Amino acid sequence: MSTRLSSRIYNPAALEVWFRNVGVDWEQSFSREALRRGREIYLKSQISGVELAAKDAIIHCKFARKDTCYAVIEWTMEGPHVRCSADDADLGDAVAVGGLYEIEELIADEIPPLRYEPKENAEDETELVGEASVEEADERPARLLTPRLEGADGGLRLTAYWTNPDFSKESAFRSDEVPLLSAEREVLVRLTGRSKEAGFEFRRDSNDFLIRDPERIAPFFSHTLKRWEAAFDFIDLDYEAQIMAQGVRQVKIIGRVESSERDTMCVDWRFKLGKAWLDPEDAERLARAGRGTHIIKGLGLVRIAEEQSAALAEWRIAATNHSEAAQVWPRYMVFSLFGERGAELDLEDELKSWRQAMMEVSAEETVELPDFLRPYQAQGVHWMAHLREQACHGLLADEMGLGKTLQVLTLLNAYPFEDKNSLIVCPASVVPVWENEVKRWYPNLNTKVLRGSDHFEDSDAPIPTLWIASYTQLRRHKHLLDQHCFGYAVLDEAQQIKNPDAKVTQACCAIKAECRLALTGTPIENRLLDLWTLFRFLMPGLLGSRRRFEDAVESPSAELRAGFEERLRQQIAPFILRRQKDKVGKDLPPKVEMDLICPITDFQKQTYEGLLARGKEELGDDLQAAMQSQAMNFFTLLTRLRQTCCDPGLIPGIDADLKQSGKIQMLLTRLSEALGGNGARKVVIFSQFLQLLKRLKPLIEQEFPDVAIFELSGETRNRAKPVESFQKKKGPAVILVSLRAGGTGITLHAADYVFLLDPWWNPAVENQAVDRVHRIGQDRRVFVYRMITQGTIEERIQHLKKEKRELFENTLGHLGSAKDLSEHFNDLEELAKLLPPE
């Protein structure tokens, strides 16, 4: 039965008149069928309005399908007289009966109830019932109403019984109830009204009331019951209700974790309430019910906190690839991101020792490795071998240029899977690099490149074979992955799978392997979700669900975010190995980095301000709104502004000489210093804009006719040829490299000067480019120049990068998404306005 929502219109005088009217035994004026039907209308809350006047009452009734009618009750010497808007007189009588019960409830709410006090004679009883007739009092005295509360499977059940003067009891909610005395009717109406206010619903089939929502039961006992006790002499509670009245108790969830096999563990979830353990059936029911308050027979009201429920849900999600009934997980789940929140893990001693050993691992030299490895490289090989031995998987995140490729090939050679093939997945441009490195260091390894005609089902391929596949080819051969299990599966430049929704990411996550490894010098290229995606490939389930991970990263609470990041750092620490060149590459010469602030010419300034003015006119000045509603136009504007900073001639419709760029003028000056004299310097020039490199080449040829010039871009078919020619060239040389084509997979350590023509907001991309030069094998100091046009958007972005570089090195934080712009700049003017020189 729903909570009463009827409208009530009356004044105190009319209320007193109707208090006297309903005080008599008005039910005798209606047939038994009208009383039954009227009670049903009342209990179903179909009375939608009551208007009381001194001479009559108007009762509005609303049925299903929006059918409505009203009845007018006039009180005469003979009792109630009914007129109805419907043609059905019986319906009119039923509506009137329901309305009179509604009036009684109104009177019970507004006029203090009479307390039951047994009297000596009928005269006293007449005082009790007020306007009730003497004949009515002579028949029997008023009975005492006792509400009874019982614990039930569906909630809290309310019944009531009458206690006769001889102490016998009768149910108060009988459908065939004899006519009530006015005092009895008043107290019963009071109970009915209060039960509905408390959230009880009437059940016609069982003639009782029930609160189904456990969340409303505890407030009922803590607040409502006290008011009931003031209105009724006694409230009868059975044992289950008495336990509920004690309040809600918090459940403690403990997972007993024991070793299952060498690489798995078994978790037995147990629920504890105080000092008592719940039986398995109740525990399982609670686990499936999830967060909130629940009723447990014999224990009353128990609560599972939201964090506990979320932890249980995460464990179940993590078990999707395993038998949920057996509750078996990979052993690495001991380090689960959600293992120490909500649900407590009780580890057996063997697992405690294993976990501690993983956290304090120092790679043991179980196999002798080649002498040509540097000490830190040998340590990396042993570290990866240790992870394999413990059925764990790892992220080798050494800074670029420290020889991740060599370390992996040494691992495959020294710790092979004798009966399984292995798989290396890398960008297409890096496939030849892996082939060459295998031939150079371990020519004994059998290698094959995955192509349309050569694939995993090749019957001629010996076992074990090292397959080398581009990300594109792997995606095309995804349908073959279900049929193969590899020994090692290695993702090189693993940031390629940073988008968890991309098809190439799904293909990589479909790889089955005994040992999975990811290689990248930039584990977080754009955002923290990059790290979640990498570990989804390495150890599914370790970092929980994507949704919960993203919720934690984007939490509005700085304190919660900081706690999450600290916990994340600790939990992934055993599975990440990152070394930096300035720490382990002692034989590397220093790297000198500096920003070259370039002047802006009048022509550049005119072009820049014109673009910005048109952009503000089209997009408005609200940066957040522009990014959300016109993202394509917004980023087109940013690209045009950046191009203007480099060369106005890149803008469609603008014809400009390249020397009209202050940045190009500065570049020519610096090239004169680097390429002149007897130094025989070699220079690498990076740009994201291929057209800029094409316009720059003839200018350099004109200015430096004796200098060899090479090109490497996405249009270069044989990438190895210009790189090899540049490396071997005697004398000064320049190589023009597009970031897309030359950011990975090549070695340019013959150079000692690097110019970044158009640096942008992601330092990871820049570092990849710079480390083509500053890497193992470099024997000269490397000078890196980031060319920034003064007062432009480039300068603001450079300041933003410097603020976030430290966060990136801590493997936490994000940089590279548009979100950073909206967080640090309020409007387009603040982001891109051209500022005068200081």
| C-alpha torsion sign, points 309, 313, 319, 323 | positive
Q: Which residue has the tokens 């009934």?
A: 325
Q: Are 488 and 385 in contact (CB under 8 A)?
A: no
Phi, psi angle pair for 834, to nearest 5°: -75, 120
User: Do residues 797 and 506 touch, judged by C-beta distance below 8 A?
Assistant: no
71, 59 in Cβ contact below 8 A? yes
Q: How many CA atoms lie within 13 A of 811 on its CB side?
A: 26
Helix (H) / strand (E) element for 537: namely helix 529-538
Largest Cα–Cα distance of the chain, in whole Å? 131
The owner of tokens 């493997």 is 811
Q: How many CB atoms lie within 10 A of CB 775?
A: 20
Do 272 and 254 form a contact (C-beta atoms < 8 A)?
A: yes
Half-sphere exposure of 785 (CA within 13 A, CB side): 20
Report whether 240 contacts 150 (CB < 8 A).
yes
Q: What is the pLDDT of residue 230?
A: 83
Instruction: Report d(CA 440, CA 281) in Å as an integer.
Output: 63
Which residue type sits at 99?
Answer: G
DSSP letter assigned to residue 570:
H
pLDDT of 743: 66
Closest CA to 225 of 156, 327, 308, 123: 156
Q: How far is CA 514 from the centre of its chain?
A: 29
pLDDT of 344: 73
Strands across the sheet containing 422-426: 447-449, 466-470, 422-426, 485-491, 512-519, 394-396, 576-577
Mean pLDDT per 10-residue section of the chain, whose length is 838 residues: 63 83 85 90 87 89 78 88 88 92 82 46 34 47 90 90 85 70 82 87 86 91 89 90 91 82 81 81 76 85 78 62 59 73 76 81 69 91 92 90 91 94 90 89 94 78 89 93 94 90 94 95 76 92 85 85 84 88 74 86 92 84 70 83 93 91 90 74 92 94 92 84 90 88 76 88 76 79 89 83 56 40 60 71
What is the structure's pLDDT at 321?
45
Q: Which residues pair with 489 in a beta bridge?
A: 423, 516
